[in-house]
Amino acid sequence: MARGQGPAETAGRQAVEPGPARPDGAASRSEPPVTDATGDRAESARETSTTPPGRTDVPDLTPDHDGPPPPDDPERDDYGDPGDDSGEWPREARWVRPFLVVAGVVGLLLLGAAGGLLIGLAGRDDPTVPGIDSVDVGFAQDMTVHHQQAVEMAAWERDHSTDPVLRQLASDIETTQNSQVGRMQGWLELWNAPALPIGGHMAWMSGPTHDHAGGAGAVATMPGMASSADLAALRAATGPQLDVLFLQLMLRHHEGGAAMLEYGSQHAAVPQLRNLARQMLSSQTSESDYLRRLLVERGGQPLPL
């Protein structure tokens, strides 16, 4: 270091002195500074982020990631800063989604209630609901009474006969007619009609084109029904006598109800009831033929109506 020169001047002189020779023997020379299109000198790409020695006026811009995150601003609400014009959508409030769910459930409940009310109002004036004096109600009431007596006689024969064929037949009649009674009673309940007839039987068949049993209006006893004396004789009989009497009473019972079944299948307003009456007529007609054959095989004769 020359006398009278400071450290800064010595360092500057060393920066411009030529460096050592290159391996190929060519002398080292300094390259001209790079300039941009406007002629201004570009910044060097080799600048470091460290502060030069002796400089204290350059702030340290390196972010400190070791510390905890900044606390939330307590004055900031869920809708974002009022003056934020960054173009982003504000955050959704915490109460919005639960409110929408509750509103949707309430809306569905109200819609269902309105639909049920409309259905109920429509059902009041439904033309398929028959009146108290209709063929449908009268058929269901009278045929319930008719079937109940057949079930009573079949249950007695099933429990007291020694003939396996007749015991099986009686069990089938009891099961079938009990099921049909249940259907007719269900309809009567839906129609808000009495379960059993009031003031006689078969008044629903007294139309201008039908004459039942030679008369008009209600009758006290339906055709084919067994009397109290008949039922008492059935309970007192045993063995083959019981079997023959059962076949006679059941055959007459089936034949007596055929007129009601035919009328109901043709004049009832409810399609389901017409279909049921048609099925009853078909099955009981076939069953009557079978009863007649069993009766002849056991030496009996049909009873008159």
Q: Residues 188-222: pLDDT tens digits? A: 999 999 999 998 999 999 754 444 443 457 999 99
The pTM of the full predicted model, rounded to 2 decimals, is 0.59
With respect to residue 239, please indicate whether it lies within any of the assigned structural domains.
Answer: yes
With respect to residue 258, please indicate whether it lies within any of the assigned structural domains.
Answer: yes
CA-to-CA distance for 113 and 115, rounded, in angstroms?
A: 5
Amino acid (one-letter) located at 61: L
- Does the pLDDT value for residue 3 go beyond 90? no
Half-sphere exposure for 157 (CA within 13 Å, toward CB): 31
Sole residue written with tokens 């009557």: 288
31 vs 292, more confident: 292
Residue 255 pLDDT level (bands cut at 50, 70, 90)? very high
- Does the pLDDT value for residue 148 go beyond 90? yes
Closest to 205 in 3D by CA, of 275, 257, 249, 252: 257
Q: Residues 28-61: pLDDT tens digits? A: 444 444 444 444 444 444 444 444 455 555 555 5
Which phi and psi (to 5°) does residue 32 adopt? -70, 150
Structural domain count, the chain: 1
Report the length, in residues, of the chain. Answer: 305
With respect to residue 152, please indicate whether it lies within any of the assigned structural domains.
Answer: yes
Average pLDDT over the chain reads 76
Note down the domain range covering 266.
135-195+220-297
What is the model's pLDDT at position 61?
53
- Does the pLDDT value for residue 273 go beyond 70? yes
Q: Residues 68-93: pLDDT tens digits? A: 555 555 445 444 444 455 555 556 66
Cβ contacts of 155-159, under 8 Å, gap ≥ 24: 156/234, 156/235, 156/246, 157/242, 157/243, 157/246
With respect to residue 22, please indicate whether it lies within any of the assigned structural domains.
Answer: no
What is the model's pLDDT at position 13?
45
3-class secondary structure, 212: strand
Sole residue written with tokens 């270091």: 1
- CATH number of the domain that residue 265 is part of: 1.20.1260.10
With respect to residue 143, please indicate whether it lies within any of the assigned structural domains.
Answer: yes
With respect to residue 263, please indicate whether it lies within any of the assigned structural domains.
Answer: yes
With respect to residue 151, please indicate whether it lies within any of the assigned structural domains.
Answer: yes
With respect to residue 126, please indicate whether it lies within any of the assigned structural domains.
Answer: no
